[in-house]
Amino acid sequence: QQQVKQSPQSLIVQKGGISIINCAYENTAFDYFPWYQQFPGKGPALLIAIRPDVSEKKEGRFTISFNKSAKQFSLHIMDSQPGDSATYFCAASGRGSTLGRLYFGRGTQLTVWP
Amino acid sequence: NAGVTQTPKFRVLKTGQSMTLLCAQDMNHEYMYWYRQDPGMGLRLIHYSVGEGTTAKGEVPDGYNVSRLKKQNFLLGLESAAPSQTSVYFCASSYRGQYEQYFGPGTRLTVT
């Protein structure tokens, strides 16, 4: 059973546009939601993360929006640039027996056209 | 600091052969993880460790074994490789749970 569902699988955006990637989860024990960015041939790297005590977190052009009641969170990339072309993974983690484990979505391949 | 390193970077195995992938981290992290990445499947956790001498199963542990004899090293073993184990393997480490995971550069394994 997939713990975190991510959409879309691929996304093509024009330079300067807004990229939006969505994720949903079911486990209400999850309380940590990071996003990872992966460039071809490299390992993933943490981009931004949020905890459910806030509804939004912004770092530069990257924003996470979090809807606790809907159990959904999304990544917005403003003013998308060709250098943002990468695969993005959302993830979730909870306390208790799953502490330390990240459950990843299946990824979104973003292409930003110049 | 080298961060997280993985050895080897590439490997081709024949069905039934065995091998060990080595992961090393120099950040004094408690937690270490092994993932596999396959197209369209995201990152799937194979095994993880929350401290020296401890290991736990992840989402897809069958066909793999691990050991964490030293805090800085986490070994992933394939006793009898199968074509279904063709994948890119990533090791990661973190200070504790729910802290940033630092990933290695990956090992591309092909089993023929």
Interval B23-46: pLDDT, tens: 999 999 999 999 999 988 899 999
Q: Could you give the percent of chain B with pLDDT greater than 90? A: 90
Cβ-contact A24, A88 below 8 angstroms: no
pLDDT of residue B10 exceeding 90, the answer is yes
Least confident piece of the model among A30-34, A100-104, B2-6? A100-104
Interval A12-48: pLDDT, tens: 999 999 999 999 999 988 989 999 999 999 999 999 9
Question: Residue B30's closest CA among B110, B97, B108?
Answer: B97
- The single residue listed with the structure tokens 């066909």 is B63
Q: Which of B5, B34, B43, B108 to mutate to test the interface with A (most CBs of A within 10 A)?
A: B43
pLDDT on residue A96: 65
Q: Out of B97, B103, B106, name the one closest to residue A45 (CB).
A: B103
Cβ-contact B13, B81 below 8 angstroms: yes
Coil vs helix vs strand at A15: coil
The pair phi, psi for residue B83, each rounded to 5°, is -55, -30
Entry field: residues in chain A: 114
Beta bridge partners of A51: none
Q: Measured between beta carbons, which residues in chain A are less than 8 angstroms from residue B31? A: 100
What is the C-alpha to C-alpha distance for residues B57 and A22, in angstroms, rounded to an integer?
28
Q: Measured between beta carbons, which residues in chain B are less than 8 angstroms from residue A44? A: 43, 90, 101, 103
Coil vs helix vs strand at A16: coil
Mean pLDDT of B81-95: 97
